[in-house]
């Protein structure tokens, strides 16, 4: 009997009291003006070209200063290139009109990937005999 009394005392859960996640309607994408589109396009080109030049310069630097680079661990050389290119871009972008405060992690990952990619390709091509 005690079990029956306990079961009767329990109230069934009300469906309204259950917490459901509030679903909001997705907001429509904000339309950009032609001037904003042009500025974003120009900034995107600059954000691609600058890391390409930095990576190419790092490749030439490594070739002329380190040669084959066998006397240094490759990971330390790559870490040096990453740190140097990060600070070069962080200080260089404001000089050419790019706001680095708008950069997110994805943007920094993108520009560093471009830099490292160009560095490795240029250094590898220079190390191979023609």
Tens digits of per-residue pLDDT, 69-122?
Answer: 788 888 899 999 999 999 999 999 999 888 888 888 898 999 999 999 999 999
The more confidently predicted of residues 10 and 54 is: 54
What is the number of residues in the chain? Answer: 130
21 within domain boundaries:
no
Is-contact 84 118, C-beta < 8 A? no
12 within domain boundaries:
no
- Overall pTM surpassing 0.85 (yes/no): no
Determine how many CB atoms are found less than 10 A away from the CB of residue 84: 15
Task: Tell me what the mean pLDDT of segment 44-70 comes to.
Answer: 91
104 within domain boundaries:
yes
30 within domain boundaries:
no
10 within domain boundaries:
no
Handedness of CA 92, 97, 102, 108 (dihedral sign): negative
28 within domain boundaries:
no
CA distances to 16, 17, 23, 40, 89 from 20, rounded to whole Å, are: 9, 9, 9, 39, 46
86 within domain boundaries:
yes
Band of residue 16 on the pLDDT scale cut at 50, 70, 90: low
Q: How many domains does the chain have?
A: 1
Name which of 119, 125, 128 is nearest 54 in CA terms. Answer: 119
How far is it, in rounded angstroms, from Cα 126 to Cα 120? 10
Task: Tell me what the mean pLDDT of segment 51-62 comes to.
Answer: 95
Residue ranges making up the domain that contains 81: 37-127
Residue 103 is predicted with a pLDDT of 86
102 within domain boundaries:
yes
């Amino acid at each position: 009997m005690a079990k029956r009394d306990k079961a009767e005392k329990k109230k069934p859960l009300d469906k309204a009291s259950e917490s459901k996640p509030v679903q909001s309607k997705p907001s429509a994408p904000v339309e950009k003006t032609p001037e904003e589109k042009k500025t974003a396009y120009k900034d995107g080109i600059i954000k691609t070209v600058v890391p390409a030049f930095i990576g190419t310069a790092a490749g030439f630097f490594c070739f002329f200063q380190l040669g084959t680079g066998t006397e240094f661990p490759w990971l330390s050389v790559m870490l040096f290139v990453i740190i140097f290119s990060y600070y070069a871009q962080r200080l260089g972008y404001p000089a050419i009109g790019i706001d680095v405060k708008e950069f997110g992690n994805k943007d920094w990952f993108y520009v560093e990937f471009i830099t490292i990619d160009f560095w490795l390709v240029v250094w590898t091509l220079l190390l191979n005999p023609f």
